[in-house]
């Protein structure tokens, strides 16, 4: 039986108190995410249940029960207290997807400090910008990454401690550095968890916009209410599930749904700390009998590119539910999944600032390939006019996505940047910066970022729509569409394309692709220029960075590139 039951009934009778009651939380009580993700599960008699299955690139595997998560996080929390960490101090996690990253996240929250997860692939300057903005007190890292911290240490007098979790003793420690290894510690059974309340800050995630410095999105412990219930109803996690969220906790999906959601429900989850390949992923699913899989469209398209034959080498019968997050899920990917897995990927829409899922496709509800779905129960979502910000009631008309700001996981501010935070609200709506239409049945259809929409000759063209059409061409593996300057139309469509194996980049193919789009969409949507590339620039969370390509075409500064994936 699916957890959400009837979507329509849930919408009619919804109140966030549903989650509060299930979590035994009463308004005004102490609420600490770290405790809910470990101690509470143990108190329910599930201490011996497997919480984490971890595997690295060498095939080394580690397993932790919920009781081991509880005691390991207690031990980390106690060490942080010993070195002077207090409530609301910022503690950065700067590591690969090793167990200490997940255990450390829980331990930090238990102390009342604020967890600040950052991608381990950040360079020293990108790291400095974020640590400097937060005035981070402690950073937990690995010996392979500590060199980046050393490079910027003189500029960070506020950074009091650099904790290396895997120091092997071969090289001497330097200024402010210390060693902490769970392997060398006696794990603590009892720990005095800080009595955080609903509005106590919990997590600080950094997000890069199209302009300006990265912004620190501040979340609070009450976000658990949204994260718990959306995990249960959208991801449909059941007691005996083996769950795999492919996101790195440096990205909000990796914390909201890669730690908090599953562990607050007492669910076993997997982590693969290994480079992407179709074989690696399918083998991991088969080996661990993964039943619920939460991934990203870019990864799904990469699997599509690898072909259908490779899937036949592995037993995927364990999968019962799959979902996607990070960017719009093309209809082709949904249809492909139904063909090869006998089930669709369920698209989910949300962002760092919302903290939890907002518009989703739900088990038991009809999936319209290419649609974002409908708002989560309790979320008031609509589209508003781009100029007046008044609600649009005309089906199919494009406007700005807008939400009433009253859900538990919503960000409380941008760190040290209240002015930018307030600018996200207009006429009582929170505006995430995306455009969409709503059809007659209430399904949302994404058309693009507000600043990505191409105005060519007064006609609006959605990059996402063109990209989706391009993916239907037999030669196209991936695509990114941006505007380029034009003397007549002000701007026209340009497509960056990676080709599937067996196709050769030439003028003849370019003409065929242009005409394909012309026929499929319209002459206005047809790319006036096609550039073949070996790969597209992406963030580590898998989003194609259109803005870098657009800046290149317009001769603009490319801005912050710290979230760009490794070459």
Task: For each of the domains in the chain, give its residue range(s) and CATH number, in order of start.
Answer: 7-438 (3.40.50.12780), 453-554 (3.30.300.30)
Q: Nearest to residue 178, comparing CAs of 189, 165, 197, 193?
A: 165
> In sequence order, what are the residues at sequence separation of 6 or more whose Cβ sits closer than 8 angstroms to the Cβ of residue 440?
395
Strand, coil or helix: 372: coil
pLDDT recorded at residue 558 = 73
Locus of tokens 């760009």: 564
Strand, coil or helix: 244: strand
Quick one: how far is CA 282 from the chain centroid?
21
To the question of pTM greater than 0.75 for the whole model, the response is: yes
Strand partners, 485: 491
Quick one: how far is CA 494 from the chain centroid?
28
Q: Nearest to residue 467, comparing CAs of 325, 329, 263?
A: 329
Q: Nearest to residue 64, comparing CAs of 96, 37, 44?
A: 37
pLDDT recorded at residue 28 = 97
> The tokens of 370 are what?
């290419």
pLDDT recorded at residue 567 = 45
pLDDT recorded at residue 210 = 42
**Mean pLDDT, contiguous 10-residue spans, the chain (567 residues):** 96 96 98 98 98 97 98 98 98 98 98 96 84 98 96 97 94 95 96 98 82 83 98 98 96 96 98 94 98 92 91 97 90 94 97 97 96 97 96 96 97 96 96 95 90 69 84 93 82 93 93 88 84 89 84 81 63
């Amino acid at each position: 039986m699916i957890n959400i039951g009837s979507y329509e009934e849930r919408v009619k009778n919804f109140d966030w108190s549903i989650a509060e009651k299930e979590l035994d939380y009463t308004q005004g009580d102490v609420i600490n995410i770290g405790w809910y993700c470990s101690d509470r599960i143990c108190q329910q008699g599930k201490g011996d249940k497997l919480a984490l299955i971890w595997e690295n690139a060498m095939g080394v595997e580690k397993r932790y029960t919920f009781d081991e998560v509880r005691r390991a996080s207690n031990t980390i929390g106690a060490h942080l207290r010993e070195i002077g960490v207090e409530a609301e101090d910022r503690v950065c996690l700067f590591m690969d997807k090793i167990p200490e990253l997940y255990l450390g996240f829980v331990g930090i929250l238990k102390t009342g400090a604020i967890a600040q997860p950052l991608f381990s692939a950040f360079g020293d300057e990108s790291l400095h910008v974020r640590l400097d903005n937060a005035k981070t007190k402690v950073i937990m890292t690995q010996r392979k990454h500590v060199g980046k911290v050393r490079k910027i240490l003189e500029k960070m007098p506020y950074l009091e401690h650099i904790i290396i979790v895997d120091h092997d003793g071969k090289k001497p420690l330097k200024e402010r550095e210390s060693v902490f290894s769970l392997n060398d510690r006696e794990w603590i059974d009892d720990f005095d968890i800080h009595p955080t309340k609903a509005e106590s800050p919990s997590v600080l995630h950094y997000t890069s916009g199209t302009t300006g410095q990265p912004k620190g999105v501040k979340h609070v412990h009450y976000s658990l209410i949204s994260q718990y219930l959306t995990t249960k109803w959208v991801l449909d996690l059941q007691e005996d599930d083996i769950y795999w969220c492919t996101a790195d906790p440096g990205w909000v999906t990796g914390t909201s749904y890669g730690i908090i959601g599953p562990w607050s429900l007492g669910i076993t989850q997997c982590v693969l700390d290994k480079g992407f390949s179709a074989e690696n992923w399918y083998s991991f699913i088969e080996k661990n009998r993964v039943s619920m899989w939460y991934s990203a469209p870019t990864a799904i398209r990469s699997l599509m590119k690898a072909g259908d034959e490779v899937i036949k080498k592995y037993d995927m019968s364990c999968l019962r539910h799959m979902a996607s997050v990070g960017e719009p899920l093309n209809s082709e990917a949904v249809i492909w999944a139904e063909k090869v897995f006998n089930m669709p990927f369920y698209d989910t829409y949300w962002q760092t600032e919302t903290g939890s899922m907002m518009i989703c496709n739900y088990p038991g509800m009809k999936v319209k390939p290419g649609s974002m779905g409908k708002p989560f129960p309790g979320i008031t979502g609509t589209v508003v006019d781009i100029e007046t910000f008044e609600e649009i009631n005309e089906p199919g008309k494009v406007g700005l996505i807008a939400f009433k700001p009253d859900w538990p996981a919503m960000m409380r501010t941008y760190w040290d940047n209240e002015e930018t935070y307030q600018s996200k609200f207009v006429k009582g709506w929170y505006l995430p910066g995306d455009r969409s239409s709503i059809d007659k049945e209430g399904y949302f259809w994404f058309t693009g970022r507000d600043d990505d929409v191409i105005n060519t000759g007064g006609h609006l063209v959605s990059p996402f729509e063109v990209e989706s059409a391009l993916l239907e061409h037999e030669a196209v593996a991936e695509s990114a569409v941006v505007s380029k300057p034009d003397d007549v139309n002000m701007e026209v469509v340009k497509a960056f394309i990676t080709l599937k194996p067996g196709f050769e980049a030439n003028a003849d193919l370019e003409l065929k692709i242009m005409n394909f789009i012309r026929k499929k969409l319209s002459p206005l949507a047809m790319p006036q220029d096609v550039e073949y590339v070996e790969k597209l620039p992406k963030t580590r969370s898998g989003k194609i960075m259109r803005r870098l390509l657009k800046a290149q075409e317009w001769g603009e500064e490319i801005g912050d590139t710290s979230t760009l994936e490794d070459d």
